[in-house]
Amino acid sequence: MSFLSEEALCFLVKRDFFALSLNWDFRRKCQHDTLCSLRNCLIQS
């Protein structure tokens, strides 16, 4: 992941979070990991 800038990584996390929010069953399984990633992203920015 080191080849991605933090800005690019944040973009990917936010995009993935939006995509997951459209699929309840998948989000329910991955919600914790996704929210942790998004939280870390927001803390860094």
pLDDT value of residue 31: 66
Q: How far apart are CA 35 and CA 19, in angstroms?
A: 13
Q: Which of the 8 DSSP states describes residue 45?
A: -
* 7-17 tens-digit pLDDT: 887 788 888 77
| Greater model confidence, 6 or 24 | 6
Helices (H), 1-45: 6-21, 24-44
Give the number of other Cβ atoms within 10 Å of residue 20's Cβ. 19
Q: Which amino acid is at 28?
A: R
> Is this structure's pTM higher than 0.75?
no
